[in-house]
Amino acid sequence: MWTICVGLLHSWRGERFAGAGVGGASVAGAGREIYVGRVQRFDDFGGTSARASELADRGTIGAVAAALSMTPSAVSQQLKVLARETGVALLEPDGRRVRLTDAGQALVVRADEVLAAMDRAAAEMAHYRGSPRGRVRVALFPSGAALLLPHVLLAMADSGVEVIASGEDLPPAQVPRLLADYDIVLTHRDERAASIAGPRVSIRVLMREPTDVVVAPTHPLADRTEVAPAELADETWLSVRGGFPVDDVLRSIATLTGVQPRIAQRLNDFRAIENLVAAGYAVALMPRFAVAHPQLVVLRLSGVRAARLYELAFRPGAENRPAVAAVLAAFETAAAQIAAEWSAPTHPRR
């Protein structure tokens, strides 16, 4: 017999199971205490804790130890204990590090299923309470936060759901590891890039945002409304770090023209990029909804589809928690409203 302490496989979600007690009291029985996002069994192993899911999310034992305020050796020891309990190898060498074996990955998926079952139980109890409540941790990339977060926070005000928002600016490939610390992650990707959806990551597409070229009012192309990629072959560019949607589009333009772009600076700050473009330092690609500088001239790309997709990432089953479902719905409503505004014939930059 072996023990999985689900609450220690994943970060504590901070909500107790609202059962037969008052104010979210625990439901006890058969040597268990049940919490939302946490199951802890007290048996002969003294509550042995497994860290496999944390390792899957964070990538290294050192990162797991830092997140859980433990030493790396303590985390390693607990993983060894879990391997003995399961009777299979859960770790294998990966250079100077270790990674989960196929068996370890399978164990992580099963732990996720246990958490999803707990979320469904919490959803049923919330149904009897009549309204969602609790905290929902949300990570957002900066320009997405500027566009959507005001709508979401206003929608959730006085709802009983507290949204705890944090800025996280990571390429799409690194988003899954954020789900160790957040319930929902607002992310973005080039529309031609592969989705990050998988067994441990659910995705909801919110909206599509075109990518445009921005130039200074003194630029030779400033009297135009659109431009073909071939006309940009000799330009000096500002871009973001590699792996982000805007840089993916710039690489696509390079493929079409056969010319590698001259990138003067890489800055993950659209306000800084706008100011440099307005000063005539270079040209840049920018998501259409993010352009705010009044002096910039926005040119649409002709002959190529260029856009980023806004997506919400979360653990499978997390949407069963009423509080999480309410926040997901608030994001979807906000995105639909913004998309409708930008598609309206009367919008000044339609």
User: For the segment 169-191, what is each residue's pLDDT rounded down to a tens digit?
Assistant: 899 989 988 998 999 999 999 99
- Residue linked to tokens 């926040």: 327
Those residues with Cβ within 8 angstroms of residue 341's Cβ, 6 or more apart along the chain or in another chain = 347
Decide if pLDDT at 284 tops 70. Answer: yes
| Residue 50 scores a pLDDT above 60 | no
- The mean pLDDT of 255-277, rounded to a whole number, is 94
Strand 202-215 relative to strand 307-314, pairing: antiparallel
pLDDT-derived band at 4 (thresholds 50, 70, 90) equals: very low
CATH T-level topology, domain 132-207+309-343: D-Maltodextrin-Binding Protein; domain 2 (3.40.190)
CATH no. for 6-128: 1.10.10.10
Higher-scoring residue by pLDDT: 226, 258: 226
Of the ranges 81-85, 235-239, 274-278, which one carries the lowest mean pLDDT score? 81-85
> Does pLDDT of 65 surpass 70?
no
How many CB atoms sit inside 10 A of residue 222's CB? 12
| Domain over 208-303 is classified CATH 3.40.50.150 | no
**Predicted confidence band of residue 131 (pLDDT cuts 50, 70, 90):** low
Q: How far is CA 103 from the centre of its chain?
A: 26
Domains 132-207+309-343 and 208-303 share a fold: yes
More confident residue, 269 or 347: 269
Q: Would you put residue 141 in left (φ > 0), alpha (ψ -120 to 50) or beta?
A: beta
Over residues 306-313, the mean pLDDT reads 96
Would you place residue 344 in the very low, low, confident or very high pLDDT band (cuts 50, 70, 90)? confident
Q: Over the Cα atoms of the chain, what is R_g? A: 24
Rounded average pLDDT over 74-83? 71
Boundaries of every domain in the chain = 6-128, 132-207+309-343, 208-303
Structure tokens at 23: 């104010």
pLDDT at 82 over 90: no
- Within 8 A by CB and 6+ apart from 42, the residues are 31, 32
